[in-house]
Amino acid sequence: MPSVRDIRAKAGEEPITMLTAYDAPTASIVDEAGVDIILVGDSLGNTSLGYETTLPVTVDDMARHTGAVARATDDALVVADMPFLSIGVDEAASIENAGRMLKEADAHGVKLECGPHTVDLTEKLVELGIPVMGHLGLTPQHVNQYGGYPRQGTDQEAAERILELAQAHEAAGAFSLVLEHVPSNLAADVTTALEIPTIGIGAGPDCDGQVLVVDDAVGLSEWSPSFSKQFGNVRAEMESAVGEYVSAVESGEFPADEHSHEESDLEEIY
Ligand code: KIV
């Protein structure tokens, strides 16, 4: 059974790999490729549910998609993202919502978009047996505060605040920390300052690991951020396959004899 201890042990030996997945077929491909951590990100709001932001994603959405991912995963650590306002409003509700990801959906841990309000909660969740991955830098649930998705930690004060929060979450028991869209020199400093592994997205090469949204990585997304990289072109493959299907049906080429069966004992009924 994969554990957060394996992830901590791997850091420093070779980079940790993390990708998102939101459904069983994608999770099985990602798992078989040897990815260390599968994140069921609330980015599923954008990638799979058609929302403009992650804000409408619910705890039920996360539990359903995390369950699908966990059922298809043998080796990777499965981490469920806690959606907007599912944590941080009320401690009991936060614990219950995070607990659902382990009890109902078989996740190994949860990810929290962090701020000063998640330090005590991290400690409580870890104490109760719920491993926590922190997330600092660009936290997309703050889109309305940012007015978009700008780089974070770009001035001295903001950079120091990120380091302080990173250290506070490490002290509270987080097992790793995502750093999103921050300068690579800040990510390098935070990585040096922490014992727990950092996992970067748009945070340069010096983190202990890297994460991407799977739709961006395989080339399924219509748009992806500049810090991402397309390692394939699944969208073009799907467009071509769907186009061929439409032509084959319209031309009568599909279904052919091998796709149908006739029952000789059946009498004509009309
Ligand atoms: O929701 C998500 O996919 C994430 C990653 C981009 C880190 O938070």
Q: Which atom, in ligand 1's list, is nearest to the CA of 41?
A: 1
Write down the catalytic residue from 96, 180, 237, 263: 180
195 and 225 Cβ atoms separated by less than 8 Å: no
Indicate which CATH number applies to the domain containing 137.
3.20.20.60
Domain assignment of residue 244, yes or no: no
Q: Ligand 1 centre and the CA of 111: distance in Å?
A: 9
Q: How far apart are CA 176 and CA 4, in angstroms?
A: 9
Q: What integer is the mean pLDDT of 172-183? A: 98
Domain assignment of residue 246, yes or no: no
Q: Looking at the predicted structure, is the pLDDT value of residue 9 above 90?
A: no
Q: Domain limits at 44? A: 4-238
Q: How many CB atoms lie within 10 A of CB 35?
A: 23
The residue written with tokens 């936290």 in the block is 139
Q: Ligand 1 centre and the CA of 178: distance in Å?
A: 9
Q: Which atom, in ligand 1's list, is nearest to the CA of 178?
A: 7
Domain assignment of residue 251, yes or no: no
Domain assignment of residue 205, yes or no: yes
Domain assignment of residue 247, yes or no: no
Q: Looking at the predicted structure, is the pLDDT value of residue 12 above 80?
A: no
pLDDT digits over 17-34, tens only? 999 999 999 999 999 999
Binding-site residues, in ranges, read 42-43, 81, 111, 113
The structural domain count of the chain equals 1
Of 11-15, 29-33, 95-99, give the lowest mean pLDDT range. Answer: 11-15
Q: Could you confirm whether 180 is annotated as catalytic?
A: yes
**Degrees to nearest 5, angle at CA 234 with 229 and 237:** 145
Domain assignment of residue 266, yes or no: no
229 and 212 Cβ atoms separated by less than 8 Å: yes
The one-letter code for the residue type at 183 is: P
CB-facing half-sphere around the CA of 21: CA atoms within 13 A: 30
Domain assignment of residue 250, yes or no: no
At 65 the pLDDT is 98
Domain assignment of residue 138, yes or no: yes
